[in-house]
Every structure is written in C-alpha cells, then in structure tokens.
Amino acid sequence: MILNLGCGDDDYGDVRVDRYVSRTTTHVTDVEEGLPEEWSDKFDEVYSKCLLEHCKNPSFVIHEMKRVCKPNGKIVLITDNAAHWRFYHLSKLHLGGYHGRGAMDRHYCVFTKEHLRNHFQDAGLAIERMEYLSVLKDEKKLKKIDKLLALMGFEDAAWARIKVAAVKR
C-alpha cells in the first residue's frame, strides 16, 4: 500500500493525504499535527512531492513518514533544491512572492542534499539514492542554462529538485 503525503492533485498512491480537498484527496489532515496512530507500520511506500518545503517542522514530518512506513518499506521524497540558481538568485518563490492554495500554503525552508541527508540520518533512515531532478517548466533559454551548469560540473546549482529514496530498517 502506498501513502502519498501532500498529494495536491496527484493521483499516485492508495491513500492520498493533503490539508486541502482536491479531486484526488482521500484524507484531509495536516501532517504536521501527526498522522493517525492506526497507520503505524502500515505502508509499503510513503511518497511525498513538494511538501517538505511547506512544513514548519520538517524533522517531525520525516519521523512521521518513518513511523507509518513498514519495516523495510521505502520513503520517496522530492523537494525543491535550495542551491538551484533560479531559487537562490532570482525567484520570488522562496523570497516571499509565492502564492499557493491559501494563506497557510507557503515555503518555510528549502534544502540541499546535505540538509536532507542530515534529516534522514537523524530519523534513522537508510538512504538508497539521492539525485537531482530537472522539472521546472520554463523558457527554453533557462533550461539551456541548467544544462550548461550541469556540464560545467555545477550539479547542485543546475537542477531544480532533489529526490531521496530511503528504507526504514
């Protein structure tokens, strides 16, 4: 069984949780207030895309992900990359100009690979893979800058998101 935390309109997973009702949400709850106790050790996979940066206490959320994941289950998390050049230098997204689904939908933090590694290790999760993802849908000129930075060896600044896959031992 797959849990999708912060699902938005994404239909991935058997149980899809968000703090706002959407066409795909199966449970409305605020993950920062905790997930139901009866979900402990229930899910084969806990998936989250673009949720962690909206959380005031990301460590608590990662620990909740671990709690509801079965032993040897997988946690897959995708979040914005703080080192990406557009977020770091240009974007209003992380500097106060972001407008989402409501007054409580805002960015509280962004992460580098090192930040995520620290959070996952603190939670006692075994990281299997970390990778950068290029997912922003922008002008072709800007994507060319991303590719050029990657070719020049500036991986951390070239990609917009980070994906972590970890296992609960």
Closest CA to 56 of 36, 21, 37, 31: 31
- The CATH code of the domain that includes 43 is 3.40.50.150
- Which residues in 50-160 belong to E strands, given as ranges? 69-80, 125-133
Q: How many domains does the chain have?
A: 1
Cα 12 from Cα 126, distance rounded (Å):
23
Q: Is residue 148 part of a domain?
A: no
Question: What pLDDT digit, counting tens, does each position of 73-129 carry?
Answer: 999 999 998 888 776 555 555 444 444 555 655 778 889 999 999 999 999 999 999
**The domain containing residue 43 runs over which residues?**
2-82+103-136+161-168
CA dist., res. 117 & res. 128, Å (int): 11
Q: How far apart are the first and last CA of the chain?
A: 18
Residue 156 lies in a domain: no
Q: Tens of pLDDT along 20-60?
A: 999 999 999 999 999 999 999 999 999 999 999 999 999 99
Does residue 108 lie in a domain region? yes
